[in-house]
Chains A and B, each alone.
Chain A
Amino acid sequence: MKILVCITHVPDTTSKISFTDNNTKFDSTGVQYIIGPYDDYALARAVEIKEQTGGSVTVLNVGEAETEPTIRKALAIGADEAVRINAEPTDAFFVAKQIASHAKEGGYDMILMGRESIDFNGGQVHGMVGELLGLPALSPVMKLDIEGDTAKMAREIEGGKEFIEVKMPFVAGCQEPIAEWKIPNMRGIMSARTKPLNVVDPVDSEKPTVLENYEMPPAKGDVKMIDADNVEELVDLLKNEAKVI
């Protein structure tokens, strides 16, 4: 089984978000970067499938040099080799085009990634990669088992789940509980240092969306505390002040 896992390099969930340069750039001062949490689940399932069936896991990131520690972490978790496409990932179509261009020559049985990145929250790249390659793309996939040349999946839908069968190859945008989240061990960290990380130039692609600037949501007011013995006051506030009931 030959598996491609696409990962994002994103600020840790707990990061305080702020912007600089007149709200046109993300302020990365003091921010810790991680593998996108949904991508982490995709990677964990890929490593499990490799352990069951043999084969290899290639991890791919579209990003500039600062993403390499994140890519090394993916190698430490169990990917065999890595590819970094040397470009800033500013548009979903541009990223999808880079992934599709690499995958076209790779002969992968499946292409896994997270359902969305936790910075831009678009949830578009897996579908675009599927369309560019003429492959089925399913998302958000919460269960993935391989039987022969068929993948059996469960996809989350609003208020439930849908069960799917599809022949390989395919693209999947993953989420929990598809696999047990893996933490790199010392052996993995040591071996990751010597695994190949190939840097390649991006292919030409248009960027149909252009980011103009960022905005912060309005600041939240102070919480109004209500005595536990006076729930009537809460009902009053919800009815007359918030007007939500």
Chain B
Amino acid sequence: MTTAAVKPATMAQALQRAMRDAMAEDPTVHVMGEDVGTLGGVFRVTDGLAKEFGEDRCTDTPLAEAGILGTAVGMAMYGLRPVVEMQFDAFAYPAFEQLISHVARMRNRTKGGMPMPITVRVPYGGGIGGVEHHSDSSEAYYMATPGLHVVTPATVEDAYGLLRASIASDDPVVFLEPKRLYWSKAEWSPEAPAAVEPIGRAVVRRSGRSATLITYGPSVPVCMEAAQAAAAEGWDLEVVDLRSLVPFDDETVCASVRRTGRAVVVHESTGFGGPGGEIAARVTERCFHHLEAPVLRVAGFDIPYPPPMLERHHLPGVDRVLDAVARLQWEAAS
């Protein structure tokens, strides 16, 4: 890449660029996973890294998720910053033991003596017609584990900025990549990449006064579209993109809800035991006297991720979001 011109870039390219820049700046950054080398990952997110930095820095590992993350723990103990790719959401489960028992709590076990600066990249979520085990939204499992940061970008710029921040973080980060946004494009200059923000700040993607849509990752574009459609009905919706689920930006979220008095949480993950329950509870605890209606949730159904030909019925779409917004108005009027 030699031209500095602003041209459309995909989220996958921005993620690749983030790893490339991090590896160029810091020789302790190592990328590892299944097929990340020669192939460049099944989504091509690590494309070219092995060629540029060698197989010792971008390593095709044996096919074993616990082994990948477990060896990354040892590498981190010796001063490296591993960036681990889990091929698909549901294939990260074999690594849960290492993640929960060691990655998340090594700092704590050792009173700060052994930090774990590991980034675990997980392509997640549905909408790409994947067969079973290729579309899970597993964020609630990660959120329930103290010691982990959990972040998920929704834009090309954030993909770059958040991944740089994650790799630079001295704490382990589960970096959830909304795989159906991999090919979403934006005008973006890889030569002058976006600012690297600290992890933990939500952003208001669209401001409005009638109600707040609280969302993240793959549901952000859905909410933006819903907000646009709602405008035609006279509802002026604000959209908050969380970007980071842990830590949670209570401040931005609550400031918005206090302004609008109404909130809907939107995500693909299941509703029962899902992130929306936590978010709704936090908002209710903090903003109860500002609320004019109960905090509603629009989530995936409480079912194992459906087969691809039925996934459109499961995924929260614009209509379901608008229906919830309509219910908010109704609750307020009654």
- Are chains A and B native binding partners rather than an unrelated pairing? no
Interface residues of A (CB under 8 A from B): none
